[in-house]
């Protein structure tokens, strides 16, 4: 049995795939099945997926690409990050390597009335190719991403979430029983502003999922409230608040 929480420490972005390995049709079917049980952040935003051979896209890595299409609605990008990170972690449990691939391009920009947003490249991998020591993964210092009280095994774990260009736009403020989560707008990047915004909103969804996995693992109950756009200043945009209670 695997636990998605444990996959936080195993997953990594795969950039090299062994071409001698390939996914079986059973494995592909299992992935299609798994896509159906992902838990979205928002129930009222339609998402659809297409799995295509990597050669049908501009992607140069992996055997297949999962193309993600979404309805355009408020928080739809955060929803994508939150939902698809569950797949990223689950695929690690199946020894399938993944890389979120923002720069990838497809010719099919619409599917069933939904717009193309992002792809994830994936392919079969060997267990030993996964992350061995997560503490060696490059991440920002805790003081940059987390202010206020720390929660053991949450504060020091959530920052291992993947993000575009490892930009880690998340900032957390924790006081009493309230965890506030912000997106920093001061992230430096080679991408044009619009592109960076798209990626960083997906990153924030990924981060919310990591936060929830870590809180549950530490036996916290929580209530999540997604923030209204107004509760923002220029440097940090509030994304969500969690009221947390130790069980
Ligand atoms: C939304 C998003 C887009 C990404 N796009 C790319 C990409 O286009 N090319 C790439 O090599 N890696 C991409 N990545 C992977 C990140 O570079 C990677 O998550 C980060 O460097 C942290 O490394 P790790 O995932 O191995 O922990 C992307 C990640 C996310 C979350």
Q: What is the pLDDT along the chain (247 residues), one digit of tens a residue?
A: 569 999 999 999 999 999 999 999 999 999 999 999 999 999 999 999 999 999 999 999 999 999 999 999 999 999 999 999 999 999 999 999 999 999 999 999 999 999 999 999 999 999 999 999 999 999 999 999 999 999 999 999 999 999 999 999 999 999 999 999 999 999 988 899 999 999 999 999 999 999 999 999 999 999 999 998 765 667 999 999 999 999 8
Domain boundary among 67, 95, 129: 129
Closest approach atom of ligand 1 to CA 15: 11
Closest CA to 68 of 199, 227, 247, 214: 199
Q: What is the largest CA-CA distance in the chain?
A: 52
Domain that holds residue 198: 138-246
Residues 62 and 55: their CA atoms lie apart, in Å, by: 10
CA nearest ligand 1 atom 19, residue: 162
Are 124 and 142 members of one domain?
no
Q: Which residues line ligand 1 (CB under 6 A)?
A: 12-13, 15, 99-103, 137, 162-166, 199, 202-203, 206
Rounded Cα–Cα distance for residues 205 and 196 (Å): 14
| Together in a domain, 103 and 176 | no
Protein residue whose Cα sits closest to atom 17 of ligand 1: 165
Q: Do 116 and 68 form a contact (C-beta atoms < 8 A)? A: yes
Q: Count Cα atoms within 13 angstroms, Cβ side, for 209.
A: 30
Same domain, 76 and 164: no
Closest atom of ligand 1 relative to the 162 alpha carbon: 19
Q: Residue 104: which CATH number?
A: 3.40.109.10
Regarding whether 37 and 67 lie in a shared domain, the answer is: yes
Distance 183 CA to ligand 1 centre (A): 17
Answer positive or negative: Cα dihedral of 173, 135, 95, 64: positive
- On whether both 120 and 201 belong to a single domain, the answer is no
């Amino acid at each position: 049995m695997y636990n998605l929480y444990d996959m936080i420490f195993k997953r990594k972005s795969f950039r090299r795939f062994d071409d001698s390995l390939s996914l079986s049709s059973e494995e592909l079917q299992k992935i299609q099945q798994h896509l159906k049980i992902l838990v979205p952040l928002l129930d009222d935003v339609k998402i659809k997926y297409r799995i295509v051979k990597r050669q049908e896209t501009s992607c140069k890595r992996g055997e297949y690409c999962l193309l993600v299409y979404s309805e355009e609605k408020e928080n739809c990008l955060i929803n994508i990050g939150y939902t698809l990170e569950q797949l990223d972690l689950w695929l690690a449990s199946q020894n399938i390597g993944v890389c979120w691939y923002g720069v990838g391009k497809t010719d099919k920009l619409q599917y069933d009335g939904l717009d193309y947003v992002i792809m994830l490249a994936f392919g079969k991998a060997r267990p030993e190719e996964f992350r061995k020591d997560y503490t060696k993964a490059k991440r920002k210092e805790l003081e940059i991403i987390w202010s206020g009280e720390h929660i053991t095994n949450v504060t020091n774990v959530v920052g291992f979430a993947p993000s575009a260009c490892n930009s880690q736009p998340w900032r957390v403020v924790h006081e009493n029983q309230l965890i506030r989560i912000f997106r920093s707008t001061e992230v430096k990047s080679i991408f044009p502003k619009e592109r960076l915004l798209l990626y960083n909103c997906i990153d924030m969804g990924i981060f919310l999922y990591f936060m929830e996995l870590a809180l549950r693992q530490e036996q916290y109950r929580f209530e999540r409230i997604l923030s209204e756009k107004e509760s923002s200043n220029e440097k940090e945009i509030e994304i969500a608040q969690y009221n947390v209670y130790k069980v």
